[in-house]
Structure 1
Amino acid sequence: MSYSVEERGRENTPQYRVYFKNAAGKYISPFHDIPIYANETENIFNAVVEVPRWTNAKMEIATKDALNPLKQDVKKGNLRYVSNVFPHKGYIWNYGAIPQTWEDPGHRDGDTGCCGDNDPIDICDIGSEVCSRGQVIQVKVLGTLALIDEGETDWKVLVINTEDPEAGQYNDIEDIRRLKPGYLEATLDWFRRYKVPDGKPENQFGFSGEFQSRDFAIKTVQDTHSFWKALICKKTDAGELSCMNTSMCDSPYYCSTSQAEAIVHSTDPYGDPEPIPSSADKWFYYEQP
Structure 2
Amino acid sequence: MELPSGKTNKSEYSVRRSSRPFTKDYRIYFERSHDKTPVSSFHDIPLYHDKDKGILNMVVEVPRWINAKFEINRNERLNPIHQDNLDQNPRFVKNLFPYKGYIWNYGALPQTWEDPHHTTPETHTRGDNDSLDACEIGRAVASPGDVKQVKPLGVLALLDQGKTDWKVLVVDVRDPLAARLDDVADVEEHLPGLLAASVDWWRLYRVPDGRGGNGFGFGGRWLDRGYANNAIGECEDAWKRLIAGKVSSGDISLANTTLKGTPGKIDPDKVHLPPDEVLSPAPI
Contact 2:62 2:106 in 1 (8 A): yes
CA contact (8 A) 1:127 1:161 kept: yes
CA distance in 1, matches of 2:182, 2:14: 29
Equivalence for 2:170: 159
TM-superposed CA distance for 1:59, in Å, is 0.3
Provide the residue aligned with 1:4 in structure 2: 14
Q: TM-score normalized by structure 1?
A: 0.92
Asked whether 1:56 is paired with 2:67, we answer yes
Classify the secondary structure of the residue corresponding to 2:271: helix
Identity %: 45
Q: Do the aligned partners of 2:24 and 2:83 also contact (CA within 8 Å) in 1?
A: yes
Distance in structure 2 (CA, Å) of the matches to 1:189 and 1:205: 11
CA-atom RMSD in angstroms: 1.2
Which residue is 2:279 aligned to? 272
Moved segments of 4+, more than 4 Å: none
- How many aligned residue pairs are there? 273
Normalising by structure 2, report the TM-score: 0.94
**What is the match of residue 76 of structure 1?**
87
Deviation at 1:196, TM superposition (A): 0.2
Does 1:13 find its partner at 2:13? no
Q: Of 133, 141, 151, which aligns to 1:130? A: 141
- Structure 1 segments unaligned to the other structure (5+ residues): 278-289
Secondary structure class of the residue paired with 2:116: coil
- Residues 51-90 of structure 1 show CA distances to partners (whole Å, capped at 9, x for unaligned) of 0000010000000111000000001111100110100100
CA shift, 1:47, in A, is 0.4
CA contact under 8 A between 1:111 and 1:206: conserved in structure 2? yes
Instruction: State the partner residue of 1:147.
Output: 158
- SS of residue in 2 equivalent to 1:4: strand
2:219 matched residue in structure 1: 208
Q: Which of residues 237, 241, 252 is equivalent to 1:241?
A: 252
Which whole-Å CA distance do the structure 1 matches of 2:75 and 2:22 have between them? 20
- Any conservation in 1 of the 2:23–2:282 contact (CA below 8 Å)? no
Distance 2:270 2:94 in 1: 38
Give the corresponding residue for 1:186. 197
Alpha-carbon distance in 2 for matches of 1:57, 1:238: 27
